[in-house]
Copies of this chain bind each other. A is one copy, B any other.
């Protein structure tokens, strides 16, 4: 995790993005809470340490990090954006009962079929929906 965090910092420096206090804290939160949080969750989580933090800053920082390629957007529901710092190829499973988003290994690259060979692909996403084992067992 520390390694991940260090890599992110050098990546920011390389792209000439200032390492402000707020940005570092947002990155730290993402690296330390691999729960695909919403902007609201990040905001609430950081307010303890930074009482003056503004929600606008969280959104603005996240957009900056997404543009820089350090953070990925997860669009599963249309009424909330989730953010993910993990870069490796993986899919997301959202439990419709508890709302938790799980990572799962998926060979996404093997999907790109020949019918898209004239297209410039910049981003690949896979998500499933259903019920997680924990919620399944509670239904008894």
Q: CB within 8 Å of B: which residues of A?
A: 73, 75-81, 91, 93, 95-96, 102, 104-108, 110-113, 115-116, 118-133, 136
Contacts and interface: CB of A to CB of B under 8 A. Distances in A.
Contact of A133 (B79, B102, B119): B119
B123 A128 contact: yes
Contacts of A110: 110
Contacts of A102: 119
Contact of A104 (B116, B123, B128, B136): B116
A128 B130 CA distance: 21
Contacts of A107: 111
A116 to B, nearest CB: 5
